[in-house]
Amino acid sequence: MKLYDYKMAPNPRRVRVFAAEKGLDIPLVDVDLGAKAQMDDAYRVKNPQMIVPALELDDGTLLTESVAICRYLEELHPTPNLFGDSALERAQVEMWNRRMEQEGLAAVAEAFRNTVPGFAGRALPGPHDYDQIAELAARGQARLAHFFDDLNAHLATSAFVAGDRFTIADITAYIAVDFAKVAKKRPDDSQPALIAWRDKVAARPSAAA
Ligand SMILES: N[C@@H](CCC(=O)N[C@@H](CS)C(=O)NCC(=O)O)C(=O)O
């Protein structure tokens, strides 16, 4: 298998960190989003969604969507478990992971992609072009502020995002918090639990993936 990747983008990073937690070394193929390589015929034919990450299996099957790819890797390599290992824990991990996507990653994207000139006409990833909307950038900033405050409050009483151990929900949340710097948002002194958790996750070797 090989993973279509772009180092600076948050979603492929989720898969790289997940794979690193599993001790997997998946060959990477760089799709240079900065040079719009996702729109080149060579990649578009393979992946009409024109997004990364994408995992290509040895028989040519292509999987997109970070969580779907991670679920597949979890099935192949169940240890360490990162999606929950009881009915309740699986539901809690799913709940928190979705929240971290919607409240975190989506908020950064809304703030960032609706302002940066390089995304003019490309406010959303994928095969269709959408204009930037300034009001959405402002709303994204407001959502980001709430995301940081709400996550800080949650982490004041929970060691990790979905409970007492590291899961995929921490990967999504950590990458959302880190990537928020592109929207000029960083944890501050009013968010000590968020900073302590971020530093704990950043110290894991997988964070460098
Ligand atoms: N829901 C997808 C989102 C993938 C996505 O948004 N990928 C971005 C990079 S983080 C991308 O490929 N962008 C290409 C573009 O902006 O044209 C997932 O979870 O993998």
Put residue 154 in one of left, alpha, beta given phi > 0 → left and psi -120 to 50 → alpha: alpha
pTM of the model: 0.98
Give SS3 for 122.
strand
- CATH class of the 2-76 domain in this structure: alpha beta
Query: What is the arithmetic mean of pLDDT over 122-143?
Result: 98
Secondary structure of the chain: what % helix, strand, coil (to 5)? 55, 10, 35
Closest Cα to atom 9 of ligand 1? 9
| Per-residue model confidence as pLDDT tens digits over 197-206 | 999 999 999 9
- Closest ligand 1 atom to residue 51 Cα is 12
Every domain of the chain with CATH number 1.20.1050.10 lies at 87-208
Give SS3 for 85.
coil
Distance from the CA of 192 to the center of ligand 1, in angstroms?
A: 30
Every domain of the chain with CATH number 3.40.30.10 lies at 2-76
- CATH class of the 87-208 domain in this structure: mainly alpha
